[in-house]
Structures are given as structure tokens and as C-alpha cells.
Structure 1
């Protein structure tokens, strides 16, 4: 089973690349952002709490995210594999994901890290805000989200580097160029 984590700062192109990867390799796509936005749109209790957290540029607590991911993984165990987008975001989540994988005789095949300059990230997110209607794509929240990423998510890269399955890519390039590079690594690990 092919299990991929795609990681990078907000605006790095994770969602765009994930769609291509999901389609090419027929993976079950688990985007914490999409899942949490669905909860918000549905107006669930979890959704209301998450909405307030996201609007302030904070990360959703590990317990909420891991619970949602666990449910999704367990309900799709017959899938050819999983593509995790936006998860894990903390080392604690990474450890919990490893535990979930081990419990089900699975492992993370590769962690794909998109490295993008701050200027490009900011420009992408401000442009996305014009078309997406996402409340978390404004300048103040962008600065906070990038700080949160550097503080909480960058250590996840160290965690996976020590495990030997981290692959870093320059995400400033054209979408097609980045996708080609990602596929080269995926094809090696599948």
C-alpha cells in the first residue's frame, strides 16, 4: 500500500499537487483542511469550534485532527493507499499517525516536502483569497499561519528526516515541473 504525506507551508501548492498525485496513483485523499472546512460548512459543534480557531490563524488541536483522520483511515482500509495533505502538522501528530499506521500493518512510504519562499507563499495566498472566499487568506492571518508553520510543523520535517523518508522539493517552480519531481520519488517507493 502506497501512503504519502505531502507537507509544506500554507500556499506551497499542497492541494494542487495532491489532486494530481491522487488521480495518478488512485489514492484516498485525506486533506485535513478540506475535512475541517466540511465540518464548518455543516455547522457541527466541532465545525463551529474549528472555525473560530482557524479564523485566528491557530492550528486545530491534535486530538480533534487525529480523531477525524483515524476515522477516515479505518473506513478506507481497502484503498490502494492514502495521501495525507495538511497532516501531520506537529511531531505529536506524526507519532500518532505512525502508531495508527502500525496498528493496521501500514507505513508511510514517503514524505514530500514543498519548500517555497515567503514572498511566493504570500502572493499565492493573497491571490487565492480573491477567488476562494477562504476567511483564512488575509495578510494578518497569513503572517500568523506562516509563524505557526515554522514553530510547529517544521519540526515534523526533522522527525521524518531522521526516519529516512523525507524528500524535499523546490515548490517555486511550475506546477508540472514540481509534479514530475514528486512522481519520480513516488515511483521509487511504491
Structure 2
């Protein structure tokens, strides 16, 4: 059973890798970003609020995010494991996640951190902004997001390292190569079935 958190700065490829790992491990990839964007597209009240924060390169308030993640982890498909992408982002959210898992009588299996050079990430994201017209990927916003990540989220790396859960993986290179590194980092925590094709 795999209960994983995937950490890494914006643009490091967390979404892509979460989906690939989820397929191999047969668990859901739970992305707060996807849920926020779906609400933005649908014009919901949550979406309107979330868009204001996202367009400024800031995080959606914890109260909204925590409730959403708690509900999602309670769904039947997450009972056998999950990969969290985009949560937790702060030490306060780490405590919230600890409480959620403790209530369910479970705990995290591992925390995977994708590492990548900041300038390369800014280049990647500004290229994507031009291709997709995403207002949250303009260069100034991208740099703000990187700064916010370092300020608020990077301390999580230390927390999970102290718990012996952290495995850091180079996030640059081909998608297949990065997936292979993540699977290798999981080692004995990854079930053999379905992983033979990891590359």
C-alpha cells in the first residue's frame, strides 16, 4: 500500500509524474491544482476565490484546501493508498495531514521530492504560458511562485527528512527517466506488480 506525497517547485513536473506513478501503483493521484482549475473553469464560488490567489502566484487559504483534501482522502478509491500532488505546502498543512491520517489509522509511506534548477523551471513555465495562454504562468508570477515555494514549502523537506520519509530525485531529464528514478527511490515500498515497465 502506497501513501505518498510528491514535493517539488512549480514546473518540476509533479503532475505528470504523479499520474504515471499512480497508474503503476494503482492508486489515485490527488492534485489540489487540478481541483482548483476545474472550479475556475466552472466559475464556482471556490474557483473565483482560488483564481484571485493563483493569478497573483499565491496559495489558496489553508481552510479551503484542508477541507477539500480531507473530503478527497475519505473517498473509497483512496482507501488503498494515494499520491498527493500539491499538498501539503506548509508545515501547518503537514500537521493537518498528520491528523487526517491518524484519524484513519494510517501514515505516509514516503515523501518524494523532485529537485530542479530555478532558472530552468522559469524557462519551462514561461514557454508553457505562451503556448497555453495561462495567466498564472507569466514570468513575474512564475518567479513569485518559486519564491513562495522556497519560503513556505521547502521547510517541509526538512520535516520529512527528519522523519526518515524523504527521498530526493532529480526532476530534470526525460519523463521516462524521471519516472524510473522515482520508482527506484521507492525501492521496497513499491510493489513489484506493474512496475516492470517503468523504464
Q: For residue 88 of structure 2, what is the aligned residue in structure 1?
A: 88
Q: For residue 194 of structure 2, what is the aligned residue in structure 1?
A: none
The 3-state SS of whatever aligns with 2:168 is strand
Quote how far apart the aligned CAs of 1:158 are: 0.8
The normalised TM-score by structure 1 is 0.95
Q: For residue 153 of structure 1, what is the aligned residue in structure 2?
A: 153
Q: For residue 107 of structure 2, what is the aligned residue in structure 1?
A: 107
How far apart are the structure 2 equivalents of 1:11 and 1:37?
16
Q: For residue 9 of structure 1, what is the aligned residue in structure 2?
A: 9
Quote how far apart the aligned CAs of 1:77 are: 5.5
How far apart are the structure 1 equivalents of 2:104 and 2:131?
40
Q: For residue 25 of structure 1, what is the aligned residue in structure 2?
A: 25
Q: For residue 185 of structure 1, what is the aligned residue in structure 2?
A: 185
Q: For residue 54 of structure 1, what is the aligned residue in structure 2?
A: 54
The unaligned stretches of length 5 or more in structure 2 are 191-199
Contact 1:22-1:83 within 8 A present in 2 as well: yes
The 3-state SS of whatever aligns with 2:57 is coil
Quote how far apart the aligned CAs of 1:78 are: 5.5
Contact 1:28-1:76 within 8 A present in 2 as well: no
The 3-state SS of whatever aligns with 1:101 is helix
How far apart are the structure 2 equivalents of 1:69 and 1:49?
17
The normalised TM-score by structure 2 is 0.91
- RMSD over aligned CA atoms reads 1.3
Quote how far apart the aligned CAs of 1:151 are: 0.4
How far apart are the structure 1 equivalents of 2:69 and 2:134?
22
Quote how far apart the aligned CAs of 1:10 are: 0.4
